[in-house]
Amino acid sequence: MPPASYASNLATCLCHQFRRPSRNARTLPVYTRYFSASTRQRSGKEKEPVVVDLEPLSELLILRTPGPPRLRHESLRLLQHSLETKVLDDAWKQLLQSEAMDPTNIDIALVRPAIHRVSKERYVQLAQQLWKAFLKPQLFDPPPKLLSSATKQETIKAILSDKWGVTVSSDIPERLDVLVNRDFPNTRRDIFFILGKDGRILRQLSQEYQARVKVNIRSGDISINSSLENYERLRKEIRELLERVTVKEFDMSWAQRLCKFNEQFITPIARITGTYIEKKDEKTLLISALDPSSLQDARRLLFVSFDLRLRSSCSLLYNAPRGGGDPKGALHPVHEKSALPWNFREVEWGRWRNIRMRINHPDSLRADSSAILKDTLRRRIGGELQDTGGTTTGLRGILDHNDLRVPEQHRSELLTKYEAILGYLLHENSDPQPDLDMTAPEFVESKDKLQVFLTDVPGLFHFTQNLSPISDLTPEGICSPSQAQGSTGGKQAPYQTCIVKLLPSPWECPEVFDRYPPLELKFRVDPKHGIVGQPSLKVIHSSTIADTMFPSEECDVRFHCQKSIPLGILGDSANPQPKYGVTELELQRYISESTLNPLTDEKLKASQFLSVELPEWVISPPKHSEPEDGGEERNTPTRVKYISTGLEYRRELAFNWDGMKLYQTVVQAGVTGGRRSEFKLCWNNSEEVDSSAQAPRITELEDDDRAVDGIAEGNRGNLVGATPEAMAETVAVSGTEAADGIPSKPALDTVVGDF
């Protein structure tokens, strides 16, 4: 056996495993290796060892790889100075070059025929390939009965006849086994589908037709090395694969008056859905797919990538520090990208934090970071709140403000829900040279950065340890304290729901589709069998978001006000709007075309379209002046076709907090929506408040401790039910919206989920 420094890794391993038997010993026809079951498979009864068949010992061809030549007079030398990194890397590569796997072994394994009976032309081809594959001194285990003085031609003949048992037959046609090289050009779209599914399609075809396939992505050429018969069959298979490709146009003319399309989303959408997307012109995209479901997913993600913001508005608030002056801050990187939707994962994110000295926490809290977070908020709760004098507008006024005027007779039909969500307010952190000497208002005013709210923050689950659970089945409703106290006897089961988000179709009515509100279809999911129950449909009349930055604390808060209108089945007595909603036949069709059972369905998806009859007063009026005859307003259809844009499953645990509900939720929105946790405090208000306050872009919110501290402690006042006089003073810095200036970015509230 040669020394380890003189043989390759592959040859060394084979020598250890297959020791050359004696000449007189009986050689077994097949050698096998036995692998014992892993520790993960040993649960229960012991399993049989896995048997892996290897080549017969007599057919193995082991080669030696010559090492680097050594100098005759080699001596050690002391270095006078340190070597550069490049010199060390080159020396390291030279030392390990002899230990690398020899590609010659792979070439020999490929030229060995699977069938021992070959034609005369194929036999000559095998001999020529072996002649170029190795040198005679490299042969470690020569065929038996071969003299040491044999020539290389005699050695190759012995390998083919004795070791491999190849025989020549005149009955085999040349086109069946003689290997040929053939090239045929293809387009970039064809290469995309040939290499689809991470190359699994191409590997399967090459194994089935015993061919070696090389793809040149730049030129689009495919080189196939196989027999002429297999080449023709393989090319026919590729041609049939490409004939199944469906090409559809994606019209974007409806978006010209609203927003622009961000071409950076084409690559991630194509990678997620397995489709080929190319630009035809400024208003049209071409989508190519192998199956209709991938085509539908690509159209949905392209539609969601537009920043529409239907019936939604955003404001950015800032918690001003006590005393004079604003502290300096910086963006701290955040890496929880898996909890974000697909259209936010390609961006580097950071949370704005004040630069300050390290806080000396008690020794009992040093080991647990989540306990430090809770202690920080509790110490702020213990502080005294300063009363503000001249209040110009409050947080309640910002949340209640919207430009949609509701008729007096329909205001009682609106259901208002307030939410406070803990998390991180993230800003785009793509600046190579960040400005460190900036305050929070200067940072936000200096640049228009993309923002997203991250709810998956570690340590927040400690807030629910001392709270009383609620076991009612209506998470949307308000629960009285007496009801909550009477329902804490046993362990609470999670409330599981499936929510489908829908937007009006821009291709049905491209001129007026943005005047229709979004919809939410909610299904109750049976936790034991996964069966969805009768859904509830609601119209999102308006959605107002106020993101509050707390740079000196461990988390930020998103305040959300949603006004909705419940709908049901047309003609149903339980429908709060008997004349409006969805027909029973349409709802049955939608459910039958959807696969929503998380326990039995392999892929979860919602049907593509849903037709809904809407009340006329929920349709917003046109932005331009009304025509003289009023024809446009009267001709606006009330029956609208909606598109499913998002699917997510939520498992909620509700806790009582001073008459309100604190939800601990796990949201699973598939590959595109991500998986995240959420801590949300809800409060429903039946009284409609019409405020004329203007929604600011940046607001310094001084001493607004009740909002955040109440969530942490759980028993200190009301969240947003407090009167505006009790809120802190707000100073509007600018009157534009928070997302103004970045129309090409996706909407913040869009959650896309497909499984």
pLDDT digit string, tens, across residues 340-357:
888 888 888 989 888 764
Predicted confidence (pLDDT) per residue in 237-266, tens digit: 999 999 999 999 999 999 888 888 989 999
Confidence grade of residue 716 (pLDDT, cut at 50, 70, 90): very low
Last residue of a domain, one of 165, 189, 209: 165
- Mean pLDDT value across the chain: 73
Domain-embedded: residue 101: yes
User: Residue 650's pLDDT is what?
Assistant: 93
If one compares 134 and 557, the residue with the highest pLDDT of the two is: 557
Q: Give the highest mean pLDDT range of 190-199, 407-416, 602-611, 655-664.
A: 602-611
CATH code at position 207: 3.30.1370.10
Domain-embedded: residue 150: yes
Domain-embedded: residue 744: no
Give the CA distances from residue 544 to residues 283, 415, 469, in Å, rounded to whole numbers and listed in that order: 31, 14, 28
Q: With 50 as the cut, is the pLDDT of residue 157 above it?
A: yes
Q: With 90 as the cut, is the pLDDT of residue 307 above it?
A: no
| Residue 639 near residue 609 (C-beta atoms within 8 A) | no
| Residue 516 near residue 504 (C-beta atoms within 8 A) | yes
Residues 209 and 279 in one domain: no
Residues 606 and 460 in one domain: yes
Q: With 50 as the cut, is the pLDDT of residue 473 above it?
A: no
Segment 126-146 shows an average pLDDT of 83
Domain count, the chain: 4
Mode of pairing for the β-strands spanning 179-185 and 212-216: unpaired
Segment 645-669 shows an average pLDDT of 88
Cα-atom radius of gyration of the chain, to the nearest Å?
35
Paired tokens of 102:
């020899």
Confidence grade of residue 492 (pLDDT, cut at 50, 70, 90): low
User: Residue 297's pLDDT is what?
Assistant: 93
Residues 351 and 454 in one domain: yes
Residues 347 and 440 in one domain: yes
Looking at the DSSP bridge assignments, the partners of residue 438 are 329
Residues 600 and 466 in one domain: yes
Predicted confidence (pLDDT) per residue in 543-553, tens digit: 999 998 888 88
Q: Report the share of the chain in percent with pLDDT over 70.
A: 66
Segment 657-661 shows an average pLDDT of 78
Give the CA distances from residue 327 to residues 446, 639, 744, in Å, rounded to whole numbers and listed in that order: 16, 54, 32
The 10 Å Cβ neighbour count of residue 361 is 13
Can you say whether residue 308 is alpha, beta or left, with left for phi > 0 and alpha for psi between -120 and 50 degrees? alpha
Give the CA distances from residue 504 to residues 517, 611, 739, in Å, rounded to whole numbers and listed in that order: 7, 10, 22
Domain-embedded: residue 469: yes
The angle that helices 705-713 and 369-381 make with each other, rounded to 10 degrees, is 130
Domain-embedded: residue 753: no
Q: Find the domain containing 493 and state its range.
A: 312-620+636-726
Q: With 80 as the cut, is the pLDDT of residue 385 above it?
A: no
Residues 589 and 686 in one domain: yes
Looking at the DSSP bridge assignments, the partners of residue 646 are 501
Q: What sign for the dihedral angle of Cα 720, 723, 726, 728?
A: positive
- Supply the pTM of this predicted model: 0.70
User: Residue 26's pLDDT is what?
Assistant: 36
Confidence grade of residue 78 (pLDDT, cut at 50, 70, 90): low
CB neighbour list of residue 352: distance below 8 Å, 6 or more residues apart = 329, 330, 331, 332, 425, 427, 440, 443, 549, 551
d(CA 478, CA 131): 84
Residues 237 and 261 in one domain: no
Three-state DSSP at 132 gives helix
Residues 239 and 250 in one domain: no
d(CA 559, CA 394): 12
d(CA 122, CA 119): 5
Segment 516-540 shows an average pLDDT of 92
User: Residue 711's pLDDT is what?
Assistant: 42
Paired tokens of 379:
């110490």
| Residue 258 near residue 747 (C-beta atoms within 8 A) | no
d(CA 129, CA 110): 10
Residue among 312, 231, 236, 339 nearest 648 (CA):
339
Length of the chain: 755
Segment 288-304 shows an average pLDDT of 93
Q: Could you give the dihedral angle defined by the CA atoms of residues 453, 454, 455 and 456, in that order, rounded to the nearest 10 degrees?
A: 180
Three-state DSSP at 11 gives helix
CA atoms within 13 A on the CB side of 168: 11
Residues 256 and 284 in one domain: yes
Q: Report the share of the chain in percent with pLDDT over 90.
A: 25
CB neighbour list of residue 290: distance below 8 Å, 6 or more residues apart = 193, 196, 241, 244, 245, 246, 274
Give the CA distances from residue 332 to residues 315, 321, 351, 371, in Å, rounded to whole numbers and listed in that order: 22, 19, 5, 21
Q: With 50 as the cut, is the pLDDT of residue 367 above it?
A: no
Mode of pairing for the β-strands spanning 639-657 and 660-668: antiparallel
Q: Give the highest mean pLDDT range of 18-32, 319-333, 513-527, 705-719.
A: 513-527
Domain-embedded: residue 72: no
| Residue 540 near residue 560 (C-beta atoms within 8 A) | no
Residues 417 and 299 in one domain: no
> To which H or E segment does residue 456 belong?
none
Residues 191 and 59 in one domain: no
If one compares 737 and 429, the residue with the highest pLDDT of the two is: 429
Last residue of a domain, one of 254, 282, 304: 304
Confidence grade of residue 331 (pLDDT, cut at 50, 70, 90): confident
Last residue of a domain, one of 115, 136, 165: 165
Segment 401-413 shows an average pLDDT of 80
CB neighbour list of residue 455: distance below 8 Å, 6 or more residues apart = 339, 421, 422, 423, 676, 677, 678, 679
Domain-embedded: residue 746: no
Tokens 């009349």 belong to 541
User: Residue 65's pLDDT is what?
Assistant: 64
d(CA 697, CA 730): 11
Domain-embedded: residue 630: no
Residues 186 and 280 in one domain: no
